[in-house]
Amino acid sequence: MIFYFSGCGNSRYMAETLAHHLHDTLTFIPEAARAGRYEYTLASYESLGFVFPIYSWAPPKLVLDFVKQLQLAAKPSYVYFVCTCGDNCGLTEKVFRKAVEGKGWTLSACFSVQMPETYIGMKNFKLDTKENAQRKIAKAEDTMNRLMPRLANKEVFSEMVKGSLAWLKTYLVNPGFNRSATDDSKYRSTEACIHCGQCVEVCPLKNITLEDGRPRWQGHCTMCMACYHHCPVNAIQYGKATEGKGQYFLEDRRQQNI
Ligand SMILES: Cc1cc2nc3c(=O)[nH]c(=O)nc-3n(C[C@H](O)[C@H](O)[C@H](O)COP(=O)(O)O)c2cc1C
């Protein structure tokens, strides 16, 4: 049983690759949470996996909230997570291990893969070049091919890229990010908007409605930036931070818009 979250497709690709390799089932966390589906039957010999992007050097809050609510019929024999990041993960392993232990389970394995950057909601953040994005994807695929058999064998291991100042980023910057950098009132659509509703479709939290044909954000954003990156005419901006920065998303296991 694999639970996953993804805004722009990187983690979805990894989750699908993993589900295929392990012959396991996939559940999209926002959909399950929206339906209030927190109870699952899992045989004690089965594995429990999570796949998610790194948001400000930690798992996205919605993933941790989901883990907290999750109810399983049996204690899973093997718990692991795979995370995708643009650069590094801070002390994500420590945060996730604590969440898992809070359920009475044990985290046995985890690893991170670098994938193309999706966060450009602040001035100094930018997307990868096309070459760099392609290089990251190819390397991530190699890492998956090397480590998925270890998950299949239920090995105990950890291969996380923590980066520098990991404690500071995870325990000081991340709470600040969750408090203030997920403010969706800074999102706007420009005159280029063609009223197609693609932003409504792709928002994993169903946080966008169309009013007079233009998107309106409803205040429970996780800042995945799916709306920005998927807009077919690049008409969505986040304050001034995103202007002129281009778009990226990964769909159907193929790179697009990079
Ligand atoms: C809100 C937000 C915060 C992010 N924070 C980090 C971070 O702390 N470290 C990092 O290496 N990448 C960070 N990233 C980049 C993503 O983790 C990375 O691009 C990921 O593969 C996106 O996955 P997705 O396409 O499944 O949404 C961030 C992206 C977003 C949208």
Instruction: Going residue by residue through the chain, which has 258 residues, state the pLDDT in tens, using 9 for 90 and above.
Output: 999 999 999 999 999 999 999 999 999 999 999 999 999 998 888 999 999 999 999 999 999 999 999 999 999 999 999 999 999 999 999 999 999 999 999 999 999 999 999 999 999 999 999 999 999 999 999 999 999 999 999 999 999 999 999 999 999 999 999 999 889 999 999 999 999 999 999 999 999 999 999 999 999 999 999 999 999 999 999 999 999 999 999 986 544 444
Which CATH code for domain 181-256? 3.30.70.20
| Residue nearest (by alpha carbon) to ligand 1 atom 18 | 85
Contact between residue 232 and residue 192 where contact means Cβ atoms under 8 Å apart? no
Query: Ligand 1 mean position to 153 CA, how many Å?
Result: 28
Query: Ligand 1 mean position to 75 CA, how many Å?
Result: 30
Query: Ligand 1 mean position to 50 CA, how many Å?
Result: 16
Query: Ligand 1 mean position to 155 CA, how many Å?
Result: 27
pLDDT on residue 252: 63
Tell which atom from ligand 1 comes closest to the C-alpha of 58.
8
According to DSSP, the residues that pair with 79 across neighbouring strands are 48, 107
Query: Ligand 1 mean position to 74 CA, how many Å?
Result: 32
Predicted model pTM: 0.97
pLDDT on residue 253: 52
Cβ neighbours of residue 117 closer than 8 Å, sequence gap 6 or more: 86, 87, 125, 126, 127, 128, 248
| Residue nearest (by alpha carbon) to ligand 1 atom 8 | 56
C-alpha span between 132 and 27 (Å, rounded):
30
pLDDT on residue 45: 85
> Helix, strand, or coil here: 222?
coil
Query: Ligand 1 mean position to 94 CA, how many Å?
Result: 18
Pocket test for ligand 1, best of 8, 93, 119, 120 (most atoms within 8 A of CB): 119
Strands 47-53 and 71-72, bridge-based pairing: unpaired
pLDDT on residue 258: 44
Cβ neighbours of residue 87 closer than 8 Å, sequence gap 6 or more: 114, 117, 161, 163
Query: Ligand 1 mean position to 6 CA, how many Å?
Result: 10
C-alpha span between 24 and 11 (Å, rounded):
16
Tell which atom from ligand 1 comes closest to the C-alpha of 12.
26
Identify which of 165, 145, 147, 157 has the alpha carbon closest to the alpha carbon of residue 57.
Answer: 165
Pocket test for ligand 1, best of 55, 203, 207 (most atoms within 8 A of CB): 55
Cβ neighbours of residue 191 closer than 8 Å, sequence gap 6 or more: 235
Which fold would CATH assign to domain 2-178?
A: Rossmann fold (3.40.50)
pLDDT on residue 101: 98
Give ligand 1 pocket residues (Cβ under 6 A): 6-12, 53-57, 84-88, 115-119, 223-225
Burial of 127 (0-12, 13-18, 19+ CB in 10 A): buried
Query: Ligand 1 mean position to 24 CA, how many Å?
Result: 25
Domain boundaries, the chain: 2-178, 181-256
pLDDT, mean over the chain: 95
Q: What is the CA radius of gyration of the chain?
A: 18
Contact between residue 75 and residue 101 where contact means Cβ atoms under 8 Å apart? no
Task: Give yes or no on whether 2-178 and 181-256 have one common fold.
Answer: no
Pocket test for ligand 1, best of 14, 113, 118 (most atoms within 8 A of CB): 118
